[in-house]
Amino acid sequence: MRSYKATMVEPVRLLDRADREAALREAGFNVFNLDSSDVFVDLLTDSGTGTMSNEQWAAMFTGDEAYAGSESFRELEAAVRDVMGFERIVPAHQGRGAENVLYGALVTEGDVVLNNAHFDTTRAHVAANGGDPVDCPVPEARDGDSDHPFKGNFDVETGRRVVEEVGAENVPAVVLTITNNSMAGQPVSVANTREVAAFADDIDATFVVDACRFAENAYFVQRREDEFAGESVAAVAREQLSYADACVMSGKKDGLVNAGGFVGLRGEDAAGRGPSGNPTQSDDDLYERCRQRGILFEGFSTYGGMSGRDLAAFAVGLREAVEPPYVAERVAQVEALCDALADRGVPVYQPAGGHAVYVNANEALPHLPREQFPGQALVCELYREGGVRAVELGRFAFPDTDRADLVRLAVPRRTYGPDHLEHVADTAAAVCEKGEEVTGYEVVSEPPMPELRHFSAELRPVDENAHAPSQ
């Protein structure tokens, strides 16, 4: 049962089937182009789409809008230090702003960056700086039936092999994404974090944690990693993040806000408090390089693209994200959706991720060849059938990978109720029942950068007859 009640509501409506059909066509069969008012249950993303608490709204009224030295920035800095253990931050308007700041400071032409799995914007930022993003997931990550407790882990053996090939001097950063969004939102253990930290240290690379969903990851660690059975989520989160040289954070996930992000770094904070170890010259250099890039791209170093109100709400949200029972309820809701889908015979990746359930479109629509984007076909059909918006994270989003065609149903935080999620499960089951009636798609236009294809490409059904508007 949820430990909160809603005192502000936003109406949603389910369009008629003919109107959904027309909206989908108008959107070029790309659900990123749909108006949100035409969507009934919006599981496109858990990013910035959640509900803030009354404490967060209250904090917004006290936002200090000063250009420099904002009190709200100090509140965020203090929250990051207390909750995540980073002494210094370079604020940014959202996660990818922070990625631009950090990867622009670390990566140069010809470099290779290793990650358990790059998220799309991370991949794009590494590539935009001339780097080659290489994924190093553990083999179990690709197995939606394996019950390995930490399928998000980084495979250090793969990492070492890549380093042998390209040379350690060409690997400036090793990144650990927790939870591993591109690998079905699976968690990463603290043991693996330690191993990756040691590997990064060996090759003299900066160890970066992409900490967007650090609280959800900590909850999995508390439940699944013996060493942490009696620990609080807050304690696990601090322990796990303590191994990183730097972090990239999107506040739109476990910051429980609608906008904001930062790069977290080691060193002395404004009050002269340093990290548990000694900040090195390279910590100071990296901070300074990030700060200058932050000023250039995001805004002065005490707001970075956020308003004072955003900073204030973010400071409160970060603390709420590790407080019981919030994160336990959050993950339980995602697990309930996964179970509801599995009970109806929808082929889901198991176990559920922290923020989303992933449906395997190759299994759901086995008649569609991979060139016809079964994942995108499933996404279109979920909208057509029940006004549900999901996102493809398979061949359409990641053109050059051999990954399965997964469709992600991401659950916004503190937003939908069990009835909405039942509707999602019923809709997905109805789509699976249609089977061979569901047509594949082909791309008719796409942007120049393949890493960003799924955001703006347009498609058309291979079999137009399958999509004659219903009468």
**Which is nearer to ligand F0G, 81 or 96 (by Cβ)?**
96
CB of 75 to ligand F0G, least distance (A): 20
**Which is nearer to ligand F0G, 150 or 368 (by Cβ)?**
150
Q: Which residue is nearest to ligand F0G (CB)?
A: 95
* Residue found under tokens 């250099």: 285
**Which is nearer to ligand F0G, 250 or 362 (by Cβ)?**
250
For ligand F0G, what does the binding mask look like between residues 173 and 202, x meaning CB under 6 A? ----x---x---------------------
Residues 79-98 that bind ligand F0G (CB under 6 A): 94-96
Q: Are 368 and 394 in contact (CB under 8 A)?
A: no
Asked if residue 212 binds ligand F0G (CB under 6 A), the reply is yes
**Which is nearer to ligand F0G, 64 or 298 (by Cβ)?**
298
CB of 184 to ligand F0G, least distance (A): 12
According to DSSP, the β-strands at 112-115 and 173-177 are: parallel
Q: Are 194 and 132 in contact (CB under 8 A)?
A: no
Q: How far apart are alpha carbons 138 and 154 in whole angstroms?
A: 6
Asked if residue 115 binds ligand F0G (CB under 6 A), the reply is no
For ligand F0G, what does the binding mask look like between residues 245 and 264, x meaning CB under 6 A? -----x-x--------x---
Continuous segment of H or E residues that includes residue 319: helix 308-321
Q: Are 324 and 233 in contact (CB under 8 A)?
A: yes
Asked if residue 45 binds ligand F0G (CB under 6 A), the reply is yes
**Which is nearer to ligand F0G, 42 or 64 (by Cβ)?**
42
89 beta partners: 264
Region of 118-126, 267-275, 304-312, 446-454 interacting with ligand F0G (CB under 6 A):
118-126
- List, as one string, the DSSP characters of 364-381: HSTTS-GGG-HHHHHHHH
Q: Are 189 and 226 in contact (CB under 8 A)?
A: no
* Residues contacting 108, CB < 8 A, separation 6+: 129, 130, 131, 172
**Which is nearer to ligand F0G, 355 or 372 (by Cβ)?**
355
CB of 226 to ligand F0G, least distance (A): 27
134 beta partners: 114
CB of 415 to ligand F0G, least distance (A): 14
**Which is nearer to ligand F0G, 115 or 301 (by Cβ)?**
115
Token code pair at residue 215: 């609280």
Region of 30-38, 116-124, 127-135, 292-300 interacting with ligand F0G (CB under 6 A):
116-124
- List, as one string, the DSSP characters of 277-316: SPPPHHHHHHHHHHHHHHHHHT-STTTTT--HHHHHHHHH
Q: How far apart are alpha carbons 341 and 351 in whole angstroms?
A: 12
**Which is nearer to ligand F0G, 303 or 368 (by Cβ)?**
303
Residue type present at position 357:
V
Residues that bind ligand F0G (CB under 6 A): 45, 47, 94-96, 119, 121-122, 177, 181, 210, 212, 250, 252, 261
